[in-house]
A and B are shown apart, each in its own frame.
Chain A
Amino acid sequence: MKTLKELEEIRQRTLESVNLRKDRTGTRVVVGMGTCGISAGARPVLLAFVEEIRKRNLQHVTVTQTGCVGVCRYEPLVEVYTPDNEKVTYVNMTPEKVKRVVTEHLVNGQIVRDFTIGVVEKKD
Chain B
Amino acid sequence: MELYRSHVLVCGGTGCHSSGSADIIGRFNSEIKAHGIEKEVQVVQTGCFGLCEVGPIVIVYPEGAFYSRIKADDVPEIVSEHLVKGRVVKHLLYSHSIEEDESIKALDEVPFYQKQKRIALRNCGVIDPENIDEYIAFDGYKALGKVLTEMTPEEVIETIKVSGLRGRGGAGFPTGLKWEFTYKAKGDKKYVACNADEGDPGAFMDRSILEGDPHAVIEAMTIAGYTVGADQGYIYVRAEYPIAVKRLTIAIAQARQYGLLGKNILGTDFSFDLELRLGAGAFVCGEETALMASVEGGRGEPRPRPPFPAVKGLFGKPTLLNNVETYANIPQIILNGPEWLQSIGTEKSKGTKVFALGGKINNTGLVEVPMGTTLREIIYEVGGGIPGGKKFKAAQTGGPSGGCIPTEHLDTPIDYDSLTAIGSMMGSGGLVVMDEDNCMVDIARFFLEFTVEESCGKCPPCRIGTKRMLDLLNKIAEGKGEEGDIEKLEELGQGIKIASLCGLGQSAPNPVLSTIRYFRDEYEEHIRDKKCRAGVCQALLQYFILEDKCRSCGLCAKACPVNSISGERKQPYVINQETCIKCGACMERCPFDAIIKR
Contacts and interface: CB of A to CB of B under 8 A. Distances in A.
Interface of A: 1-4, 7, 10-11, 13-18, 20-24, 28, 30-31, 33-34, 38, 46-47, 50, 53-54, 62-67
Contact of B137 (A11, A31, A62, A63): A11
B213 to A, nearest CB: 14
B127 interface: yes
A4 B266 contact: yes
A14 B1 contact: yes
Given A22-B126, A63-B5, 19 more contacts: A1-B259, A4-B267, A7-B145, A10-B133, A10-B137, A11-B142, A13-B1, A14-B136, A17-B2, A17-B42, A20-B7, A21-B126, A30-B86, A33-B84, A33-B86, A47-B40, A50-B40, A62-B5, A66-B87
A40 B32 CA distance: 22
Given A14-B1, A20-B62, A63-B5, A4 B86 contact: no
A14 B85 contact: no
Contact of B5 (A15, A16, A18, A46): A46
A13 B7 CA distance: 16
Contacts of A4: 145, 149, 266-267
B145 A17 contact: no
A64 B86 contact: yes
A2 B136 CA distance: 12
B260 interface: yes
Contact of B3 (A24, A46, A50): A50
Nearest to A66: B86
Contact of A21 (B7, B264, B266): B7
9 contacts: A1-B266, A7-B141, A11-B139, A14-B134, A18-B134, A21-B61, A33-B84, A62-B5, A62-B61
Given A1-B264, A2-B258, A11-B136, A64 B63 contact: yes
Contacts, number: 98
A21 B126 CA distance: 7
Contacts of A17: 1-4, 42, 137
User: Which 4 residue pairs are nearest across A and B when measured between Cβ atoms?
Assistant: A65-B86, A1-B259, A14-B137, A62-B62
B75 interface: no
B9 interface: yes
Contacts of B86: 30-31, 33, 64-67
A53 B87 CA distance: 23
B106 interface: yes
Contacts of B87: 66-67
B380 interface: no
Contacts of A53: 3
Contacts of B106: 24
Nearest to A13: B1
B420 to A, nearest CB: 38
A50 B145 CA distance: 33
User: Interface size class for chain B?
Assistant: 35 or more
B141 A16 contact: no
A62 B6 CA distance: 9
Interface in B4-26: 4-7, 9
Contacts of B140: 11
Contacts of B149: 4
B495 interface: no
Of residues A3, A18, A50, which shows the largest number of chain B Cβ atoms within 10 Å of its Cβ?
Answer: A18
A54 B3 contact: yes
Contacts of A10: 133, 136-137
A3 B266 contact: yes
Contacts of A62: 5, 61-62
B64 interface: yes
A23 B138 CA distance: 13
A52 to B, nearest CB: 11
A7 B136 contact: yes
Nearest to A32: B86
Nearest to A61: B62
Contact of B85 (A3, A20, A34, A47): A34
B266 A20 contact: no
A13 B136 CA distance: 10
Contacts of A28: 62
A21 B256 CA distance: 27
B134 to A, nearest CB: 6
Nearest to B62: A62
Contacts of B141: 7
Contact of A14 (B40, B133, B267): B133
B40 to A, nearest CB: 7
Interface in B340-355: none
B60 to A, nearest CB: 10
A15 B133 CA distance: 9
A87 B258 CA distance: 44
Contacts of A30: 86
A63 B264 CA distance: 42
A92 B3 CA distance: 26
Given A7-B145, A21-B126, A50 B5 contact: yes
Contact of B1 (A16, A22, A24): A16
Nearest to B265: A1
Residue among B2, B3, B149, B259 having the largest count of chain A Cβ atoms under 10 Å: B3
